[in-house]
Chains A and B, each alone.
Chain A
Amino acid sequence: KNEVEQSPQNLTAQEGEFITINCSYSVGISALHWLQQHPGGGIVSLFMLSSGKKKHGRLIATINIQEKHSSLHITASHPRDSAVYICAVGTSGSRLTFGEGTQLTVNP
């Protein structure tokens, strides 16, 4: 079993739909990261959180430490949101452990 599991692996939505991507982890963490990787390969950090909820524009990230679960929500999705979304956890050591990623496609 991977230490970080994401679901779904692939997600196709219509423009305007509300999207949720889930991440579960099995280890104690210092922080959880959500990353976005566009088709060109560049990676952008979206959120880093260790408790509660954060919001940037149409993106919302939540984390439940007790349940070892985080969700990334996208409201009013747009084709430009199409990308791979990656959950990663930082542990007491130095490394990040990554989920396999969720491929999101938003159709116009």
Chain B
Amino acid sequence: GAGVSQSPSNKVTEKGKDVELRCDPISGHTALYWYRQSLGQGLEFLIYFQGNSAPDKSGLPSDRFSAERTGGSVSTLTIQRTQQEDSAVYLCASSLGGQGAYEQDFGPGTRLTVT
């Protein structure tokens, strides 16, 4: 079946512009995660959605970052007034359940470059 998909695959934007990244999770997966991987760095948790519960936003690095998940399915990660340090690969993952206790299926990522 279809895996997790993300769009766009690559995004180049000018400093100060807003960007929206999209994630389509696997159908039926109630949990959705956003992660970030900066060049040469490890994975960093950003935000987690589980069903209808309030999202865990504790990993978002600043108030320029926000995310929403509509209808318990598609999610968008929005970065306002992008900065060069926002350049990274943004990964989305989904799983059948949450609490980090279910295998996560990862999308291919969106490579964001802020010039």
Contact = CB atoms under 8 A, between A and B. Distances in A.
Interface of A: 29-31, 33, 35, 41-45, 48, 50, 86, 88-101
Contacts of A95: 45, 48, 56, 58-59, 100
A50 B99 contact: no
A30 B48 CA distance: 16
Interface of B: 31, 33, 42-45, 48, 50, 56, 58-59, 89, 91, 93, 98-106, 108-109, 111
Contacts of A90: 99-101
B42 A48 contact: no
A31 B102 CA distance: 8
Given A97-B45, A98-B43, A48 B103 contact: yes
B42 A94 contact: no
Contacts of B105: 45
Nearest to A29: B100
Contacts of A86: 42-43
**Max chain B C-beta neighbours (<10 A), residue from A35, A42, A95, A101:** A95
A30 B91 contact: no
